[in-house]
Structure 1
Amino acid sequence: MPKSSETKPIIDIHALSTRLYLPPEKAKQLGEAFFASLAGRKASLSDALLAASRSAKVKPKQLTEMLSVIAEDFARPLPEAPASLGERLSNAADDAREKANETIERISKGVTSVDISALRKEGADKVAELRERAANIDTDELADQAKELGDKAIDGARDLAGKVSRSISSVMPKGEPTEAKK
């Protein structure tokens, strides 16, 4: 089993001092003195501890070992106090501010590296090319092609109507007038 000085403390002295309304150093001193005296072998304390261990069904040796471990905890150097909520929030805000400044700096460098005049020239070149292509389109030829396609569509519709008419008359009995003829 590792020595208790190498393990994490059992007692949170800062929390204890807050609950006792004492400075952490004072709570540490009082706890160390109290548990060291309980773990010792003074006659009146020993008798009381033996009686308490019997009523709690804890072996006296185990009880003194527990008290020694707690006394060792109090004997350690006072640990650094954990950061308060306000300090943690302030640190988080500082970190966020730092990250935002880094991001702004990267964006600024990226924006300054953009060559706006080159973009304008490239855009003007594209517009000129589109205008040239539009000017080269022969509208008379397009009109002729549209008329041709329209004529083909009309011819196709006439052919389809003829086929439908022939199909209907082939299934109709001959000699009986159709509804249209009545």
Structure 2
Amino acid sequence: MTPTQRHWLLAMMAAIVAVSLVGCGTISPSGTTRQPEIIDIQDGTDQSEPPPESKPPSDEGRVTREIVFNPEEYAQLPKTGTAAVSGRVTMEIGGGTVIGANESISVAPITTYSAEAAAQALAGKAVERADPRAREYSHYTKTDADGYFQLTGLPPGDFYVSGTIVDPATGKRQIIIKETTLRNDHRTEVDLSR
């Protein structure tokens, strides 16, 4: 793929995701009670590495990725920095607020590879798990008992911040994705609510 084609593809995927996010911001997977994955949301609390898993994850029932991992695109991205992101996961339902306690949070750089996963998540589908090399550029944490989260030592750039919350009325997990730009020496607040 030529650099021009790559830039066109990235711009196209970003436009699709941006259009999908306008007025939406969340998506409820249809007909499933299992936790779908947006951009490799993990259960770990480490800010830089996903947790080790006791057995290899299954991609059964997941959409096959069409965009392949591009090491050259990721090699241009920094892995660390002095940016920070914080926020809260909540859901308004029945006149009250449901708090997303102990929920997984993922902060992943916006690339052609991650844009495909975000677009599929917004369509209510979970894609096969990400290439381990892409996961090296993602950052993970969990919310506290009050639904708050914080990640520090992040690189600058454009990122997807994603989290989940269980709708108590249906028992189904709701996915929330927000785009944000992180800058070194700056804290960005992201409201993951629906």
Identify, as 1 or 2, the structure richer in helix: 1
Identify, as 1 or 2, the structure richer in strand: 2
TM-score by length of 1: 0.18
Larger Rg: 1
